[in-house]
Structure 1
Amino acid sequence: MSLLSGVIRRSAPKLLKTFNIRPVTNGVPNLNKKEIEVTFVKHDGTRIKTKGKVGESFLDVVVNNDLSLEGYGACEGTLTCSTCHLVFKKEDFEQLPDRPEGEESDMLELARGVTDTSRLGCQVFLTENMDGIVVEVPESSNDARLQ
């Protein structure tokens, strides 16, 4: 079974690209959802302040707002690369509804600059209490698909 899941995991990004579709991250339509403010801090200190809708992942926020974060989210949320690695402030991390586990933990092991408050942006979804959140984007990313 693990061989089959590995084949599926490696094939998914190619299939999504072939059919020009983006994976649905949480199955909840974002129509008429409340917008909150999110700030991404690049390694050089540049702050990118933007808006995201409750229910979107941090990856969705980057993609939907066409933010300039080179290489971010290379696998488009299929949990195969670790390029959407983010570092949260401790107090924000502690408020997240869940902790990394399973495939996310595996991908974080391959990411560069991992901290105790690291998460993958494709796995963390915006909630109303995140309004004004600031997250750091590490200096470099590691696309685990290329290893």
Structure 2
Amino acid sequence: MPKVFYVQPDGVEKVVEGVVGDSVMQTAVRNGVAGIVGQCGGVLSCATCHVFLAPDEMDNFPAPSEDEDEMLDCAATDREDTSRLSCQLTLCDGVDAHVRIPDEQL
């Protein structure tokens, strides 16, 4: 099972076992991870699941779609090179994800 490592702005990390095929956002919401709301339910119409993906894990996931790229411009926090919407990060077998949650989402 893949694991998701959620790092809060204060450095506290929460590790959650995910389910292959679920998104990083679904996993967070199901497990009460603070800072990931997923208001739209994962349909790319909000940016309340914005995260910063570990730089060395960018190639583990498909590149952002044009819609995701545009939605990241609406995030509460300025985007970085590793900004992603966690609803678009689908968990795969044998691939863990390390994400940092922006403090503006808390």
Q: What TM-score results when the alignment is normalised by the length of structure 1?
A: 0.65
**Superposed CA offset, 1:106-135 (max 9, x none):** 11011113111111011110012323x321
- How many Å separate the matches in 1 of 2:68 and 2:42? 11
Q: If each structure's helix is expressed as a fraction of its own residues, which one has the higher value?
A: 1
Q: CA RMSD in A?
A: 1.5
In structure 2, which of residues 30, 51, 54 is the aligned counterpart of residue 86 of structure 1? 51
Please say if residues 56 and 126 of structure 1, whose CA atoms lie closer than 8 Å, have aligned partners that are also in contact. Answer: yes
Please say if residues 40 and 134 of structure 1, whose CA atoms lie closer than 8 Å, have aligned partners that are also in contact. Answer: yes
Change (3 A) 1:73 1:128: same
Q: Compare CA radii of gyration and give the structure with the larger one.
A: 1
- Letter in structure 2 aligned against 1:40: Y
Change (3 A) 1:90 1:68: closer
Q: Which has the higher contact order (CA 8 A, sep 6+)?
A: 2
Q: What TM-score results when the alignment is normalised by the length of structure 2?
A: 0.87
Shift of 1:63: 2.0
State the identity as a percent.
33
Q: Which runs of 5+ in 2 are unaligned?
A: none
Q: Which runs of 5+ in 1 are unaligned?
A: 1-34, 142-147
Matched length: 104
